[in-house]
Amino acid sequence: MQLPSATTLPRKVVVTGSASGIGLAVTASLLEAEAGVVGIDIAGSPDLTGGYEHIRGDLSTFGGIAAVMAELRGRRCDALVHCAGIMRTDANADIAQSMGEALWALHVVAPQRLCELLLPTMPDRVGRVVVLSSRASAGRAGRALYAASKGGSEALVRSMALTVMARGITVNAIAPGPVRTAQTTDPNRADAAVALPPMGRLIVPQEIAATVLFLLSDAAGAITGQTLVQCGGLSLAPPSTATPQRG
């Protein structure tokens, strides 16, 4: 798939969750397109070349969000891509004890605060925001707090899109199905096995990154306030109908 050229993409992009998974794939694709990236992640800087700058921070706590905002304050960027996220079931001990505070902070408060900080100086008709949600936002048994936090991120996207619509800045969400990342083998989600979608394989991060880059490009300038479901067919049939991919 041919990616949008560098001339149609924002020149400076803030990417959260940039050290692994979808965030790393988005960051690598942007760097390949010669865009500059300010990456934010709880982990250390990934091994990347080109115009990459790393901020280490924890967006799952209110204090961590404030610290990252202090690092970003005064900087100008053209776009924000919020990829940072975690999946936890309602049975997870930490989530049960905190009543889902980390999920809400990471999936709703962090992108809202980052938008509030960065949108005022984004250029009109060029600025872009893309937030990674999840197909689980439609509801999943045993994952009520996670699903609610992802549903909250989609409501946030619609609200922010209305806020900046007159400036020609777009705000959209992508709701993936199961993606082949470290999250799918995270021991903290051992009680929530990953099922193959009906297409018979997991989505790869580069496929989500290609969609992100499209939404960042000027070709997507008339799309705003939307959630694009990229789920490998889960919206059409339950995972139990999947035929594993051969070869």
Computed on alpha carbons and rounded to an integer, the radius of gyration of the chain in Å comes to: 17
Question: Which residues are designated catalytic?
Answer: 146
- Which amino acid does the sequence have at 100? G
pLDDT of residue 234: 75
pLDDT of residue 6: 45
Greater confidence (60 vs 203) lies with: 60
Asked if pLDDT for residue 93 goes beyond 80, the answer is no
pLDDT of residue 53: 97
Contact present, 65 and 40 (Cβ < 8 Å): no
Which of 101-115, 205-219, 233-247 shows the lowest per-residue confidence on average (mean pLDDT)? 233-247
What's the whole-number mean pLDDT along residues 114-140? 90
